[in-house]
Amino acid sequence: MIFDYVTLKLIWLLLIGFLWIAFAVTGGFDLGVAVLLPFLGKTDDERRVILNSIGPTWEGNQVWLITAAGAIFAAWPMVYATFFSSLYFALLILLFALILRPPGIDYRSKLPSLAWRQFWDWSLFVSGFVPLLLFGVAFGHLFLGLPFYFDDTLRSFYTGDFLSLLRPFPLLTGVMGLSLLSMHGALFLQLKTPSTSAIQKRAIFSARLFGMLFFICFLAAFFWIIKVLPGYRLVSIPDINTSFSPLVKQVSVATGAWMNNFERFPTGWLAPLFVFLGVIFALFFSAFRKAGYAMIFSAAAICAVIVTGGFILFPFILPSSSIPNHSLTIWDACSSYLTLSWMFWAVMILCPIVISYTIWVYRVMRGKVEDSTHLKSSEYY
pLDDT value, residue 376:
44
Region 349-378 average pLDDT = 76
Give the model's pLDDT for residue 377: 42
Residue 380's pLDDT is what?
47
pLDDT confidence band for 243 (50 / 70 / 90): low
Q: Which residue has the higher pLDDT, 367 or 131?
A: 131
Contact 38, 119 (CB under 8 A): no
Average pLDDT, the chain: 90
CA atoms within 13 A on the CB side of 201: 4
Residue 371 has what pLDDT? 63
**379 pLDDT more than 50:** no
Beta pairing, strands 250-255 & 328-329: unpaired
Going by C-beta distance under 8 Å and a sequence separation of 6 or more, which residues neighbour residue 104? 120, 121, 123, 124, 127
**Model pLDDT, residue 185:** 96
Q: Does the pLDDT at position 152 exceed 90? A: no
Confidence tier at 60 by pLDDT (50, 70, 90) = confident
Kindly indicate the confidence band of residue 1, based on its pLDDT and cuts at 50, 70 and 90: low
Which stretch of 93-107, 121-135, 356-370 has the lowest confidence by average pLDDT? 356-370
The three-class DSSP label of residue 62 is helix
- Which tens digit of pLDDT belongs to each residue from 274-329? 999 999 999 999 999 999 999 999 999 999 999 999 999 999 999 999 999 999 99
- DSSP letter (8 states) at residue 375: S
Q: What mean pLDDT comes out for the span 166-174?
A: 93
The 3-state DSSP class for residue 38 equals: helix
- Contact 51/108 with Cβ under 8 angstroms? yes
Check whether the bond before 266 is cis (ω within 30° of 0): no
Residues constituting the chain: 381
Predicted confidence at residue 378, as pLDDT, reads 42
d(CA 97, CA 270): 35
> Tell me: the pLDDT tens digits for 192-216?
998 888 999 999 999 999 999 999 9
Tell me the pLDDT tens digit for each residue of 97-114. 999 999 988 888 888 888
Q: At residue 82, does pLDDT exceed 60?
A: yes
For the chain, helix, strand, coil in percent to 5 are 70, 5, 20
Cα separation, 255 vs 232, in Å, equals: 9
pLDDT digits (tens, 9 = 90+) for 265-277: 999 999 999 999 9
Q: What is the pLDDT of residue 372?
A: 52
Looking only at the bridges linking them, the beta strands covering 230-236 and 328-329 are: unpaired
Q: What is the mean pLDDT of residues 3-7?
A: 89
Q: What span, in angstroms and rounded, lies between the C-alpha atoms of 27 and 211? A: 18
CA 375 to chain centre: 34
Determine how β-strand 230-236 pairs with β-strand 156-158: unpaired
Domain ranges of the chain: 5-379
Give pLDDT, residue 159.
Answer: 87
